Amino acid sequence: MPGFADRLNGIAISASAAMTDKASALKADGKQIVSLSSGEPDFPTPEHVLEAAVAAGRAGDTKYPPQAGKPALKRAVRAKFLRENNLDYALDEILVANGGKQIIFDAIMATCNPGDNVVLPTPYWISYADQARLAGASVVQVPCHEHNGFCLKAEDLDAAITPQTKWVILNFPNNPTGACCPKEEMQKIAKVLLKHEHVWIMTDDIYEHLVYDDFEFCTIAQVEPALKPRVLTVNGVSKAYAMTGWRVGFCGGPAKLIAAMNNMQGQSTSGINTLAQAAAVAALEGPQEFLRERALEYQARRDLVVDLLNAIPGLTCHKPQGAFYVYVDIRACLNKVSAAGRQIATDTDFVMGLLEEQQVATVQGTAYGMSPFFRLSYATSVDVLTEGCRRIADFVAGLK
């Protein structure tokens, strides 16, 4: 058989996607699965957004789009950045792509060479690391510890940056921990990054609107405008507007970087779905009040899940201020045996046992670079969350 590219060595299917697929297979076999592994809002896409897509289709907006995004959407993105983040990007400083994941891929592939490194506050979203490796770069982890609320410390970041550093990637609110970065901490991080003029800075703000307890979101180019010429501000409509399947991501950044990313995009997917772009315009320009209403619902779910999990002997669950995940410490559950006889030596053993013995799908912390934890998504109903936590309690109680 012909061979495969060396660049795929060590690159696996995303652990969250793999767990979701495994849960789906068990469900197809008749198992009653409680799926808490997927980072996908359970709310519907707003009606006015759906109507905009239908109207665009009926109006014949079905031809090849401009590669970097249709002017109407780029104008809507520009207005969003100005309105919500006090960032003014020209239209040639904005790129639209097939989800935030492609934005990140375009950026890393357009800039990284073998020998470069990408600095990741850890735990990190799975794809940051794998995309860096695909580009030939190395990953440098900066641990963000539970006792600090999984927040990044500026001095730790400073120590991780070297002459080989090409990118620092920030993601707050964070996937998988839900950690947020207060303005005063972001200012300290910005002060560090001002010293390292050779480093690009990416901020993945996809969970911007999912913040709780009166936390005030900020993004790094907003906090320190002097960094803006080196910052790529990444966002999209998937999480806030419940539009994961529409695949619309966007970013603002310096024009030369955007042009390089657009070149990369042109050799992969080119421009994105025209109807999805029309829907994204409606999302960004339409009513915004429901975003806060949905955030309050997520906050109530967070409170429920944190209380239920912390009531389970052997588990510790930090209360996050954003996103829709909790990152649960299971170190007290290691080196035990499950009720079905499974040895629990790692967090991967734990989540596989939980899935096979109690039919609850979560994701192991190993996938995010920090063990022993598991990630649970509370982007689902109270009834499902309550049942899932009951089954988790039964699983942990069975460990001996």
pLDDT in tens, 53-75: 999 999 999 999 999 999 999 99
Q: Tell me how far apart the terminal alpha carbons of the chain are, to the nearest angstrom.
A: 47
Q: What CATH homologous superfamily does 10-39+290-397 map to?
A: Aspartate Aminotransferase, domain 1 (3.90.1150.10)
The rounded distance, in Å, linking the Cα atoms of 137 and 177 is 25
Q: Are 201 and 227 in contact (CB under 8 A)?
A: yes
Confidence of residue 24 (pLDDT cuts 50, 70, 90): confident
Mean pLDDT of 27-45: 90
pLDDT in tens, 242-287: 999 999 999 999 999 999 999 999 999 999 999 999 999 999 999 9
The rounded distance, in Å, linking the Cα atoms of 57 and 274 is 8
Q: Are 235 and 205 in contact (CB under 8 A)?
A: yes
* CATH architecture observed for domain 47-285: 3-Layer(aba) Sandwich (3.40)
Q: Please state the pTM of the whole predicted model.
A: 0.95
* Rg from Cα positions in the chain: 21
The rounded distance, in Å, linking the Cα atoms of 336 and 330 is 11
Q: Is 103 exposed, middle or buried (0-12, 13-18, 19+ CB in 10 A)?
A: buried
Residue 194 is predicted with a pLDDT of: 98
Residue 348 clears pLDDT 80, i.e. is over it:
yes
Q: Where are the domains of the chain?
A: 10-39+290-397, 47-285
